[in-house]
Amino acid sequence: MGQTITQKILAAHCGRERVEPGDLITAKLDLVLGNDITAPIAIREFEQIGVDCVFDKDKIALVPDHSTPAKDIKSAQQVKTMRDFARKYGIANFFEIGRVGIEHALIPDQGLVLPGDAVIGADSHTCTYGALGAFSTGVGSTDMAAAMALGECWFRVPESIKFVYYGKLGRWVGGKDLILYTIGKIGVDGALYCAMEFAGEAIENLSMADRFTMCNMAIEAGGKNGIMHVDETTLAYVKPRAKRDFKIYASDPDADYKDTIEIDCSKIEPQISFPHLVENSRPLSEVGEIRIDQSVIGSCTNGRIEDLRVAAQVLTGRKVHPDVRLILLPATQEIYMQALREGLLEIFVEAGAAVSTPTCGPCLGGHMGCLAEGERAVATTNRNFVGRMGHPKSEVYLAGPAVAAASAVLGRIGGPDDLDGRKPGGDRR
């Protein structure tokens, strides 16, 4: 019996020829990550272990991206804890405001995670990096603390579920729509404890941005990791960024899967995930009339330059609906600069949108766009739980950037095709 890519990477990192699903192993790590919410607890725990240095100062990344730029005094203290720790232990990969970005866009862009790596991050969306053919999973602060001291982490080797995507994607359909559709099909615990292996011709035709978006949301189906194979697109992304060697792994043809699910992409419309569970996804044509107060385009899921380009395409020459606040958050400084150079930021500001410095802010109801009681937002973020973007009686509808941009113009949830025939200038009622 062959092995899956996930098994092979884990086996290589615990010094074995092969591992089986269900095995409890201790694996060596190539990167340990934390943010300003999770790292302060990890640092407190680390100090109790009784070591006087970290396992490898170049394999730790500290990214203050959640409540930053510091939204209040307590948040400033949290970042200070990280900054002081980074200085004390010589950790170079601490990213200061003005250089920082949302961790799951920043870390791969900086070449800090490469194919074949084993990575943990004290953030649930650490599964994003599976798009590079790496094993990458979210853990808590205590795991991060132990890993910073020991350079290893315990894992239960997961079963893998294979998702095979085929067919041509419709216009305005992207990685976000594929993953929302998939979670709608299998449920929020449909891949509990499992590796989600995304494959098929439709995946091969996706950009890296769309691939990151899909792996990013593996956790929303309960998955341990999302993973994809390395191809030309991956290498074109990785090679200019890599500062060390990496190894490419691939699933054997006779690898064992818990399940194989085939998905015909040609039938998938833009998807909207209704409150308060990600699995409540529906095709755009079945959404009905849902008026919105806010639209958010950004986050570790959809804050990349490709996402901003889609938004700009929809917003060019149009105005945000008078009843709507549109907030765009380029995910990193590099993406911000690129958007600036391409003239995208001008399109956004002309349209009447707010453009924010990179931050997770509104995605988790932290700052930079929280919702009041009874308000409703469409967002390119990854969660629509009760109170996720602010007041417990507010609502979040998840979508891709095309729908989020079009909805901001329409004042209700809709797609770019609903704007056709409508004069640029927006719906003034």
Which residue ranges make up the site for another protein (CB under 8 A)? 24, 37-38, 40-41, 44-45, 48-59, 66-67, 71-72, 74-75, 78, 88-91, 121-124, 126, 138-143, 145-146, 149-150, 154, 156, 188-189, 192-193, 219, 222, 224, 277, 364-366, 370, 383, 385-388, 392
Nearest CB to another protein, comparing residues 221 and 311 = 221
Phi and psi at residue 42, to the nearest 5°: -60, -40
Nearest CB to another protein, comparing residues 18 and 276 = 276
As measured in angstroms, the least distance from the Cβ of 269 to another protein is 25
Nearest CB to another protein, comparing residues 92 and 340 = 92
Determine the Cα–Cα distance for residues 170 and 401; give it in Å rounded to an integer: 15
Nearest CB to another protein, comparing residues 179 and 351 = 179
As measured in angstroms, the least distance from the Cβ of 135 to another protein is 14
Helices (H), 206-257: 208-216, 232-238
As measured in angstroms, the least distance from the Cβ of 347 to another protein is 31
As measured in angstroms, the least distance from the Cβ of 18 to another protein is 19
Instruction: Give the Cβ contact number of residue 9 at 10 Å.
Output: 28
Nearest Cα residue to 297 out of 351, 226, 341, 342 = 351
Residue 164 forms beta bridges with which residues?
199, 262
As measured in angstroms, the least distance from the Cβ of 186 to another protein is 12
Nearest Cα residue to 291 out of 144, 397, 165 = 397
Determine the Cα–Cα distance for residues 402 and 398; give it in Å rounded to an integer: 12
Nearest CB to another protein, comparing residues 142 and 313 = 142
As measured in angstroms, the least distance from the Cβ of 31 to another protein is 13
DSSP 8-state symbol, 316? T
As measured in angstroms, the least distance from the Cβ of 89 to another protein is 4
CA distances from 244 to 147, 234, 263 (A): 21, 16, 36
As measured in angstroms, the least distance from the Cβ of 34 to another protein is 10
Nearest CB to another protein, comparing residues 40 and 414 = 40
Nearest CB to another protein, comparing residues 319 and 367 = 367
Which residues, at least 6 apart from 330, have a Cβ–Cβ distance to it below 8 Å?
298, 303, 305, 308, 336, 339, 355, 358
DSSP assignments along 144-211, one per residue:
HHHHHHHSEEEEEPPPEEEEEEESPPPTT--HHHHHHHHHHHH-TTTTTT-EEEEESHHHHTS-HHHH
Residue 272 · residue 395 · CB < 8 Å: no
Nearest CB to another protein, comparing residues 68 and 333 = 68
